[in-house]
Structure 1
């Protein structure tokens, strides 16, 4: 499991050795011992296939903490008979990298390949990332980088082009249960928990194997005679905070989930993701702003009140603050999820911007230009303009696009919500326009 077991074996030291952490004691010795990444490590998985073929390429292991990145890197080196060197981008600079590369060159000259494992590789800047390239290309090193951030955003294109990105998954409750059983076998003790409390303990780990082992080690150290129930467990252990980085992948993943749940008209899912973001410490003002955006982009004129509702909720939050103001935002989440949806206005706006870019600087037709001077009147500005209020149905049907431009259709309202009424108006005006044009030709 990645990062599950990323402490090196204790160095030899005189006297009695310090007790080894449980995570270190049950570190997988073979790739088949790794829990939770069967899709990658199976015979048909990318890493399993590489090892079977005896052809290992540079890799970027992308996944959350505690899912096996470090352990997998160590075992890849072991099973491909390569020297394993581990550094962290947090603590390493140019001088350290230079030493690593020089040592790898010496090994290479002696016929041994080096697997260089770089933890938190996204922390390196562009120049530092570029420094790996020549050594990857000439075979001095096989680079295995580990990151919790999206490599597409955090790593150089040149580096990504020379490495395969492999995605590791967070551990399921079933995976964590297997880990707990392995810990019990190693220690010779059963967790002093009821079945429900055992499930609660594993839920507290939130898919992080290292966190699960740390919690299990704590529980196994307790001197209790009876099994603890969930309430007793909660008194002794604090629930681990959900993983959430307000500037990282989790932020963008969760706001995407919230936005798409609203767009998909699922109020329960939308409320869940909204709550997840709040529990993670997200600024409610950011959520308020995004709710207004959802109202504008995904509901639009299908429910003209949606934008007003979102703005009022934002104002309510600003006036009364947390936690009561968050209820106003939650109610807006429900309202927007259940509102009729239309992006016709959004599509029309983008089409208009595109048409404006392509049409250059064509002038409006002369008849709709004002003529405040005699010279402008002599040029025909304003000549023939039909005042719509004086026309039948208050609609002249004149052309308002540049002369010579084929009339486009930008706004196409849908048959949902209030836009159903707007569509009737659009169709009515189109019919009148055609009727007026026909009478002009006669």
Structure 2
């Protein structure tokens, strides 16, 4: 087993990785920015190194500072968490070139899945269903209009190098396609340094369902169930649950098998997620993208499978077998508690004057990055904590969630707990028959 790990991240995910490292007797090293000096993850690690100012480019995305911290502290491995450098193939390669263990898939798999066009074509070749769309970057508006006439409107315009719901727009006719094509291309050039654009059929009523995969040290790939991620704002997830209430056993079996094929196609190792769109009307699913890292919502899989996915990551990276359960039990729901207003979902950072987690309630887990007295700054993502609730079935999980959300007390920064109270009383959500437009219908 790895003996020491530097966690190249911050907040709740850094704290969560450190927790498992401590349980396994692995020495944990945190890196932190000046803005994060007082956060729990920096205090709870066995060692912590200041790597720069608040600006992520000068701290959490600063590869030189992170590698220097690893050398300074004698770290044996680096865990990237999610976001920042977690899907940066160049950084993964640099880590291994410096003689360190990268806790994640190889740089080749990250590269293969990082370009949506290449990923789409690889998946199609592996027999994974893909939505009708372009196989190559669309180089001009004229070519986009021509391709759209073959695919059919509405059209999803996507940045090939995008991720996390960024760089996506819907066009319903030629005029809107011309406008959205230029807008997405410009955004992609600014954000990702790559203006490549692809087109795919847009499904007006669709669900977002993903599969947790784990590439084991022996070369095999296994699937640990699916997660329903259709409660979204601005194409970004707010609530996830497992199992999905949308799938029949036959659909679930086909989806999991396709996800395993996707992992095998790129010789995947460690934890990853195969994201798909599911058309509930036709009962069909299509490959969306593969996230080559641990997901924010991994705790719902942990709850229903009884597994510690971070421990599995450590074991795979160490070349050790991982004990992977094959049967899921019960139902889990995760709520992303963000520092944002519950109506328009705009960021609302500030100093935390009250922070009371509902840990005394049954079936409740909280993965938090903050505590009372900390300050949520505008420098980073607005996620403050994840509230995970488990029940014997979906009905019990929802009832426990109502109690847990109501008992979670936060004052200071704005927060979206009131939205979750509203969601848990929404007939569409509680019925399980909802889609990715649910939040927009509520607003």
Report if TM-score (shorter chain) is over 0.5: no
Which structure's relative contact order is higher, taking Cα pairs within 8 Å and 6+ residues apart? Answer: 2
Higher strand share: 2
Compute the TM-score of the two structures, normalised by the length of structure 2: 0.24
Greater Rg, structure 1 or structure 2? 1
Compute the TM-score of the two structures, normalised by the length of structure 1: 0.24
Higher helix share: 1
